[in-house]
């Protein structure tokens, strides 16, 4: 059996997100925090104490540099350097290899959520909580995931396979990228992108 992750999101994820956002345009710390929170749908925000040390480390290593702005002289903006773009290329490859671990984190926390709602060993007192450990809220979580899937990827189709069966199947995504004409995936992706832009 493969070893599962024992912590949160993939190591280096915040650094990667910071690099991508700085590659787009110069930003300051709180702005980066807000952008990452927005990307997560408002459900996850890295701490102040995680983003700023990354920025200062990038500055020390020459990956990013401070940018002075006349209209905001007291705010510390950071921009990516050429060395930063090289670092970004490496981070893209590293995070690209973490997809399965990332999926395990998402599934693992959902399984724990459902266990707190259904396993008799746990007696969580959520009577006064805004959201509860219940079938209704579990369904709401799943519904949000399906809606986001359909917004970003197109129509949601159930996959009738166990984890072992799913991972044993040929990689349909890789096959589609190799020859998109076979599945029509490229057209579907264009339609999904235009639909997401309209939302």
pLDDT in tens, 117-153: 999 999 999 999 999 999 999 999 999 999 999 999 9
Q: Are residues 70 and 157 in the same domain?
A: no
Contacts 24+ apart (CB under 8 A), 38-43: 41/144, 41/148
2 in any annotated domain: no
143 in any annotated domain: yes
Q: Are residues 120 and 194 in the same domain?
A: yes
Pair 154, 188: CB distance under 8 Å? yes
Q: Are residues 104 and 182 in the same domain?
A: yes
pLDDT of 170: 78
Q: Are residues 74 and 106 in the same domain?
A: no
Q: Are residues 106 and 191 in the same domain?
A: yes
Q: Are residues 83 and 116 in the same domain?
A: no
CATH number of the structural domain spanning residue 55: 1.10.10.10
Domain of 46? Answer: 13-96
If residue 65 lies in a helix (H) or strand (E), which one and from where to where?
strand 64-67
Q: Are residues 106 and 90 in the same domain?
A: no
How many percent of the chain have pLDDT more than 70?
Answer: 82
Residue 8: band (very low, low, confident or very high) from pLDDT cuts 50, 70, 90: confident
Number of domains within the chain: 2
Q: Which of 64, 96, 128 is the last residue of a domain?
A: 96
pLDDT of 134: 94
5 in any annotated domain: no
Structure tokens at 91: 């981070």
8 in any annotated domain: no
| Nearest Cα to Cα of residue 88 among 32, 29, 23 | 23
7 in any annotated domain: no
């Amino acid at each position: 059996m493969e070893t599962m992750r024992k912590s949160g999101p993939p190591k280096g994820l915040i650094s990667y997100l910071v690099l991508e956002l700085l590659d787009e345009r110069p930003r300051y710390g709180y702005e980066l925090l807000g952008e990452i929170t927005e990307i997560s749908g408002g459900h996850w925000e890295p701490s102040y104490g995680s983003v700023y040390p990354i920025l200062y480390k990038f500055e020390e290593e020459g990956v990013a540099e401070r940018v002075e702005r006349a209209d905001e002289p007291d705010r510390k903006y950071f921009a990516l350097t050429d060395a930063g773009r090289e670092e970004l290329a490496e981070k893209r490859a590293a995070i690209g290899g973490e997809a399965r671990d990332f999926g395990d984190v998402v599934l693992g926390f959902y399984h724990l959520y459902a266990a707190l709602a259904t396993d008799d060993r746990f007696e969580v007192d959520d009577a006064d909580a805004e959201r509860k450990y219940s079938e209704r809220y579990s369904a709401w979580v799943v519904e949000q995931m399906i809606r986001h899937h359909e917004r970003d990827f197109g129509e949601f189709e159930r996959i009738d396979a166990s984890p072992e069966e799913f991972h044993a199947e040929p990689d349909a995504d890789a096959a589609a990228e190799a020859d998109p004409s076979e599945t029509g995936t490229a057209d579907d992706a264009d339609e999904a992108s235009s639909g997401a832009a309209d939302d």
